[in-house]
Copies of this chain bind each other. A is one copy, B any other.
Amino acid sequence: MKKFKFITALAVCGLALQVASAPVYADYAKENAYQPKTHYLAANSDNVRWGNLGIGEPALSVNSGDIVTVEAITHHSGDDYERMIKGDAGVEDIFHWTADEKHEADRAPGVHILTGPIEVKGAEPGDVLEVRILDMNLRPSGNPEFEGKTYGSNAAANWGFLYGDMIEEPKTREVITIYEMESDGSTDWAKAAFSYTWTPQTDPNGVVHETIDYPGVIVDPDTIVKKHDILKDIRVPVRLHFGTMGVAPREADVVDSIPPSYYGGNIDDWRVGKGGTMYYPVAVPGALLSVGDPHAAQGDSELNGTAIETSLTGDIQVILHKKENLNSKLQDLNFPLLETEKEWVIHGFSYANHLAELGEDAQKAIYANSSLDKAMKDAAYKTRLFLMKGMGLTEDEAYSLMSVSVDYGVTQVVDGNWGVHAVIDKTLFAKKETKFVSLRTSFERIGAELTWDNRAKTITTTHGSNELVIKIGSTEGSFNGKAFELVTPVNIDNGVAVANEYFVEMYLSKLLTSR
């Protein structure tokens, strides 16, 4: 496989790369000029897998540094055919299932629709794949009747934490709640539209599904009773994220999409959203990144079994870090690590690598062996190592810091391999991890031009045919004329427009990308 390497324009311009101060996500290889490209990966039956991740024919092959606009479709779309499937060619294609024809015939052993895999050229086991989430948008309903809206489904399912343990009868009921959002993202909350109790559903092959036991079954509206006026006056803050994203593991070719593990997968951490950066240990050639299980909102724990499961489109940039050039935070990385502007997030699981730890029957055994106590231990071990190796602390320093400042949360208790995450506040490390830089200096370094509109309080940066407009003090912006929400506002400090270096890194590449 031919090796490509990504390069920042820093090198193109002949300027020295400030490795010492550069954040981890900026230290990709510096040889060979390569202009990153944008790709569009539509979701349709050619480009998705259902229920598993692993080895297989790539849906797309990219170079390190490339930006991929990737469509991700929720496997819960069948909970409301009218709102979540009808009129959307891609979703209709994926869900197409008649007595004679089933486009996605293999929906096993898990449940998620995953777009990809995306092959990253040159990726080899031992490397680290960085995935920056530059943008994320709701997918509008394809049904003209629901124009301007996006819907999502929350299923209180049989794998939920309180299933069988309800107060009201029947104690084992499954309930679907459909949530509605403005598809242009103009409101930052979701509202419940209606709910219904799951009734036995007969699929096109005549199999009756007494419970939610198979993904993509289209619920027959004539079999259910819709309850309206639910969750009145309640609005759920939106937290767009990918529930499942990860690379192919080395242990098996086809892996159940439900339990998360060292390769990422179904982590179900709502922080894996816009402005977040994931780091995955590459385990197979080409990395083979899968993206899916999009969520509009989820709380830490995903208690009843699901989030607000909806369809989203994200702009992700993939950056390959070669084994020989890994910085101290990424060396020997053996878990999915999240970075945001303000935090590092360590993901622990009941089993750090359930495929390797639980033997041949691992993919089934994991469901009977999960525990938050184990996940807590795993998260603690990983945090300790991250602080020691990544931040250069002694064990005693790391352990003290973990107790007085690191917040441990319950990621999920519904995915087989239960999760506990550790949130490490970057301000602990002051300037070492949160450095504010001049926007002008940073953007001009890549040859971009900046103009300042004093009346509108906007900065316009152009590079080639790309134009990024940033409004000072707000997250409003536009990219190539299209409204674009920034991760964080850019502020004026002593007359200079400054932003966190993390922010600048996030958008430099977008500006550099050729279409």
Within A440-494, the residues touching B (CB, 8 Å) are none
Residues of B within 8 A of A179 (CB): 404
| A373 contact set on B, CB distance < 8 A | 371-373
**Given the complex of chains A and B, what is the CA–CA distance between A166 and B396 in angstroms?**
9
Q: How far is the CB of A84 from chain B (nearest CB, A)?
A: 16
Q: Which residues of B contact A428 (CB under 8 A)?
A: 234-237
Asked if A301 is an interface residue, CB under 8 A from chain B, the answer is: yes
Q: Residues of B contacting A307 with CB < 8 Å? A: 403-404
Asked whether any CB of chain B lies closer than 8 Å to the CB of A119, the reply is: no
Say whether, besides A303-B380, A384-B167, A410-B420, A236 and B396 are in contact (CB < 8 Å).
no
By the criterion CB–CB under 8 Å, are B235 and A427 in contact? Answer: yes
How many chain A residues touch B (CB < 8 A): the figure is 67
* A405 interface residue (CB < 8 Å to B): yes
Q: How many copies does the complex hold?
A: 2
- In the complex, residue of chain B having the shortest beta-carbon distance to the beta carbon of A302: B403
Query: Is the Cβ of B168 less than 8 Å from the Cβ of A395?
Result: yes
Chain A at the B interface: SS class: mixed
> Does residue A287 face the partner (Cβ distance < 8 Å to B)?
no
Closest to A301 in B: B408
Residues of B within 8 A of A297 (CB): 404-405
* A253, CB-defined interface residue at 8 Å: no
Residues 251-302 of A at the B interface (beta carbon under 8 Å): 297-302
A166 to chain B, nearest CB (A): 6
Does any Cβ of B come within 8 Å of A499's Cβ? no
Assembly CA distance A384 to B301 (angstroms): 14
Q: A167-B384, A403-B305 are in contact. Are A408 and B300 (CB under 8 A)?
A: yes
Residue on B nearest A309 in the bound complex, by CB: B404
Residues of the B chain whose Cβ atoms lie less than 8 Å from the Cβ of A190: 404
- Pair A177/B396 contact, Cβ less than 8 Å: yes
Residues in B with CB closer than 8 Å to A334 are none
The reply on A357 being an interface residue by CB < 8 A is no
Q: In the bound complex, what is the Cα–Cα distance between A410 and B300 (angstroms)?
A: 11
Query: Cβ of A399 and Cβ of B430 under 8 Å apart?
Result: no
Task: List residues of chain B with CB within 8 A of the CB of A160.
Answer: 399, 403
A413 CB-CB contact with B under 8 Å: yes
A376-B301, A428-B237 known; A399 vs B231 contact (CB < 8 Å): no
Complex Cα spacing A306 to B400, Å? 9
5 residue pairs, one from A and one from B, having the closest CB atoms = A304-B403, A372-B372, A300-B407, A301-B408, A408-B410
Extra contacts, 5 of them, besides A154-B400, A306-B403 (Cβ < 8 A), are A162-B384, A175-B400, A298-B403, A301-B408, A410-B410
11 example contacts (A-B, Cβ-Cβ < 8 A) are as follows A161-B376, A162-B381, A166-B399, A230-B394, A231-B400, A236-B401, A236-B428, A237-B427, A299-B407, A300-B409, A372-B420
